[in-house]
């Protein structure tokens, strides 16, 4: 639901209102973890760490649009287009 995405950014995005850095993503996973669920805690950290690694920009932020595209299933398509566009400019 779009309202959940907006709530996530309004609660955890401190430096920029429409982007999250690694520390803010870490705080988000801490705020949403279940007590005594070690596997869930570890898998959540790994999943969001991978999303951060793949989708961060040159300043170390993941945008709201990238996270929205993660939820609707188009993140990897968007990243592939972004990456191929960057290669075309270099060549």
Instruction: Name the pTM for this structure.
Output: 0.78
pLDDT band at 8 (very low <50, low <70, confident <90, very high): confident
Give the tokens for residue 19. Answer: 């982007």
Average pLDDT of the chain, as a whole number: 88
**Residue 86: is its pLDDT beyond 70?**
no
**pLDDT-above-90 percentage for the chain:** 59
Domain locations in the chain as residue ranges: 2-90
What's the residue count for the chain? 91
Among 28, 60, 72, 34, CA closest to 47: 28
> Which residues, other chains included, contact 49 with Cβ-Cβ below 8 Å and sequence gap of 6+?
22, 25
pLDDT digits (tens, 9 = 90+) for 20-52: 999 999 999 998 888 888 999 999 999 999 999
DSSP 32-49: TPPTT-HHHHHHHHHHHH
Task: Give phi and psi for 50, each to the nearest 5.
Answer: -65, -40
For the residues 59-66, what does the mean pLDDT come to? 93
């Amino acid at each position: 639901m779009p309202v959940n995405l907006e709530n996530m950014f309004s609660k955890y995005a401190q430096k920029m209102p429409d982007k999250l850095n690694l520390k803010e993503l870490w705080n988000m996973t801490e705020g949403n973890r279940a007590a005594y669920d070690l596997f869930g805690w570890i898998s959540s950290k790994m999943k969001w760490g991978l999303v951060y690694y793949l989708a961060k920009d040159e300043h170390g932020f993941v945008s709201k649009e990238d996270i929205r595209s993660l939820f609707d299933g188009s993140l990897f398509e968007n990243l592939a287009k972004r990456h191929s566009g960057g290669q075309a400019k270099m060549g």
